[in-house]
Structure 1
Amino acid sequence: MISVLFAVLTALSNGSASVLQRRAALNVPDRDAMRVSLIGRLLRQKVWLAGIALVIVAAVCQAVALATGPIAVVQPIFVIELPATLLLAGFVMRVRVPRPVWFGAAAVTAGLALGMASAAPGGGSATVRGAAWVPALILTGLFEAALIAGARATRGNSRAALLGLAAACGYALTAALMKDAMARLSDGGGVALLESWQLYATAVAGVGALFLLQNALQAGSLVAVQPCLTLGDALISVLYGVTLFGEELRTGWWLLPELLALGLITAGCVELARSPLAAGNAAPPSRTRRVK
């Protein structure tokens, strides 16, 4: 299935980008938080630019995935981005992957499989009909404003978590707008795509979400940001899929395994975000010379 393949590629790119951007954000002073100067400082760092390059790759892959599959299928797959990236980082850096990372990866993978099998998302339309975007944008704006206001009133990991959730909401909105825009491409070609307001709204929402994520990573630890970012993006995307695109999920007693899946994914994300590999500061074990 093309949408699943490109969703996996998106997850790999996004996860790698988050780790690189976190490393760059550690070098930014607190006085630049929630200011445009934050981006100016990040632009001077090669590691951050590498992360942005991966964000662009992820955006292309995500557009293909959303154009070929339901948003409620594509977006939840992104929860694998952190475990996949950490395992790959351990291999590339030639660092022994700690056992908790394997447990976390297993928990996230099992949770995703259980959640997708239980919810069985599907159906729906490729476009948003009528004026359904109006209440969706208003409610999203109010939710984002409340999260940002709460973040500005606190500091440390609490601020990071709130901004991480705000970024997740922005990325979920970006995905919904992107899916609606890509439907115009398949219906009316490039001209119809360029004439759609959804295309330009996608760019605005994406830049806003990226700005919020940089501030979240600068405000606190990755363990505070990543679970809110990963789960928030997946859950809010599913909500957009159901309310805007008419996609369907199983309910009733199926909610029990779905909640269990959420618990597994949450526990796995927290465990993975604690790893030195996630912070990007893991180093290969030093070799000691044997004394004869």
Structure 2
Amino acid sequence: MNVAAVVLALLSALGNGAASVLQRRAAMDQVREERGARGPKQNLLRLTRLLRRPYWLAGLAAMVVSAVAQVGALAVGRLSVVQPLLVSELLFTLVVGSLVFRHRPDGRTWLSFVTLAAGLALFLVAADPSHGQNTAQNGEWLPVGVAVAIVVGILIAVARMLRGAARAATLGCATAACFACTAALIKEFTGRFSGGVAEVFTDWPLYAVCAVGLLSFLLLQSTLRAGTLAASQPALTLGDALVSVTLGWVLFGERVELGLRVLPEVAGILLMAAGIVGLTRSPAMCGGWDQAVPGHPDLAARNAGKPRPPLPGRRGHPGGGGTP
């Protein structure tokens, strides 16, 4: 397993988690300090002032670091290793959030934390993805792209007939497929760096990354509106990891150990799923910990007893896997 790819993937996950927490802190500071009339003009002014806040700018810097690190990880590592490692964004969100909001997680949250980490480690060690090519063979992207588009289209159509948790989970699967495809396109894009700058900017992968990334972002917004993180997050994070492993195998020739290793691989996936569900349902992640601004108990008191939105991430997410 490429150490540089692992380090860069973890750095990308840390950047996403930190960006979510820091920009959430900036938003909470603004809520506390700026009260008054609402309307389009006032909202625009608030947004403009938000962009000047140190916490928000620090979050933006973390997002840039995360994006660069993910591109670097995919340039030197395997898709089937990098994307599963981005599941650790949930862990980093919890750790950074605990420091920024000074709210210590409870025992249940830490148990979910350990379960997710153990599942991720077990899956990667058991699967032991092999090296593949830096780019796909000629003609392979077209059938794969069509297949992904059909699957995503079917999932979106099914989601339109559902409500609540089922709708969120179904849209989460569609979004995960798009994020995995975006990551695969980034790997294809970085694999063509050796051809020179002209080839990078005149060939199709760069523009495909932008188009599919935008679609992923828009689908993510629908997913987050459809239901709670507890419903969508397992599909988002695990779906991204599993579809990425599949695309790594089909497009880049990355192989995953099978045979008897399937048992620990499945066990790792189940542990990750249990950890993700536990984290999204824990008091630390959905109980308003990200609304309590340190040193301002009045805000926490005002929010007592009110519904509290979950901490948003890149994939609203922790995960990203993602990528838009």
Question: Normalising to structure 2: TM-score of the pair?
Answer: 0.76
- Aligned residue type for 1:150: V
Find the partner of 1:239 among 214, 222, 246.
Answer: 246
- Aligned residue type for 1:154: L
User: Matches of 1:20 and 1:88 in 2, distance apart?
Assistant: 9
Identity %: 43
Find the partner of 1:8 among 2, 5, 10.
Answer: 10
- Aligned residue type for 2:69: C
- Partner SS state of residue 213, structure 1: helix
In structure 2, the residue matched to 1:73 is 81
Q: Could you list the per-position Cα deviations for residues 46-104 of structure 1 after superposition, in whole angstroms to 9, with x for gaps in the alignment?
A: 59x87776554432211100001111111110111102211220122110111111111
Q: Could you list the per-position Cα deviations for residues 198-232 of structure 1 after superposition, in whole angstroms to 9, with x for gaps in the alignment?
A: 11100111111111111111221111121111100
Q: Could you list the per-position Cα deviations for residues 142-198 of structure 1 after superposition, in whole angstroms to 9, with x for gaps in the alignment?
A: 11001111111122222211111111111100000000010111x112222112201
Find the partner of 1:133 among 133, 141, 145.
Answer: 141
Q: Could you list the per-position Cα deviations for residues 260-283 of structure 1 after superposition, in whole angstroms to 9, with x for gaps in the alignment?
A: 000100000000011344348213
User: Matches of 1:176 and 1:103 in 2, distance apart?
Assistant: 32
Question: Normalising to structure 1: TM-score of the pair?
Answer: 0.84
Compute the RMSD of aligned alpha carbons: 2.7
User: Matches of 1:169 and 1:226 in 2, distance apart?
Assistant: 13
In structure 2, the residue matched to 1:163 is 171
User: Matches of 1:159 and 1:17 in 2, distance apart?
Assistant: 27
In structure 2, the residue matched to 1:216 is 223
In structure 2, the residue matched to 1:259 is 266
Find the partner of 1:203 among 185, 198, 210.
Answer: 210
Find the partner of 1:188 among 167, 171, 195.
Answer: 195
In structure 1, the residue matched to 2:34 is none
Unpaired stretches in structure 2, ≥5 consecutive residues: 28-42, 299-324
Tell me how far 1:14 sits from its aligned partner.
3.0
Tell me how far 1:18 sits from its aligned partner.
5.9
User: Matches of 1:88 and 1:101 in 2, distance apart?
Assistant: 14
Unpaired stretches in structure 1, ≥5 consecutive residues: 25-39, 288-292
Alignment size in residue pairs? 269
Find the partner of 1:248 among 231, 255, 269.
Answer: 255
User: Matches of 2:22 and 2:178 in 1, distance apart?
Assistant: 20
